[in-house]
Amino acid sequence: MKIITTEIPGVVILEPEVFGDARGYFFESYSQRIFDQAVRPVRFVQDNESQSKYGVLRGLHFQKGEYAQSKLVRVVHGRVLDVAVDIRRGSPTFGCYAAVELTGENKRQFFIPRGFAHGFAVLSPQAVFQYKCDNAYAPQSEGAIAWNDPQIGIDWQLPAQAVLLSAKDSRNPPLAEAAELFDYNEDYYA
């Protein structure tokens, strides 16, 4: 497993070694031992999957407080742009983002630590998206920021008129107006 750092410490891309021949391919998609040594010790407790069509943009989501989540995301079919935004007040990279294209072909994964908002946009006709979480979903702890916040300036690689949002995501506030975020000096893994 190759670990690729991003411009934001802690946010990493994981690239598996794929073994292929005339029959097809094999790769190890997750190893707790390798992940803990190369990234950080995290105990994932839930796996999720979504299927979306071209233009669907899900995000930018996070969970607050005791329900804060890390995510390890990947695409098994299709192509998405996946984004992590630093929402830890006091962080040197507060409001900055890291992005990666995840595809069924490149088999890359993206680790989003606690303290980050997460979202993705579907760039192919359809995409199947899978992710691991290290904390249970808690609706009372949901938080979100606007996908198109000009201060963050994410290039989602989609024309604005093609973006398909949920009703809830269309009402997310910009980062500057988000009520409860994270503190850079607090350890959300303790």
Q: Which residues are catalytic?
A: 61, 131
Q: Is 49 exposed, middle or buried (0-12, 13-18, 19+ CB in 10 A)?
A: exposed
How many Cβ atoms from other residues are within 10 Å of residue 39's Cβ? 18
- Of 80, 94, 175, nearest to 129 by C-alpha is 80
* DSSP structural state of residue 8: S
State the DSSP H helix or E strand holding residue 20, giving kind and residue range, or none if neither.
strand 19-21
Q: How far is 147 from 60, CA to CA, in rounded Å?
A: 6
Cα 152 to the chain's mean position, in Å?
16
SS3 state at 106: coil
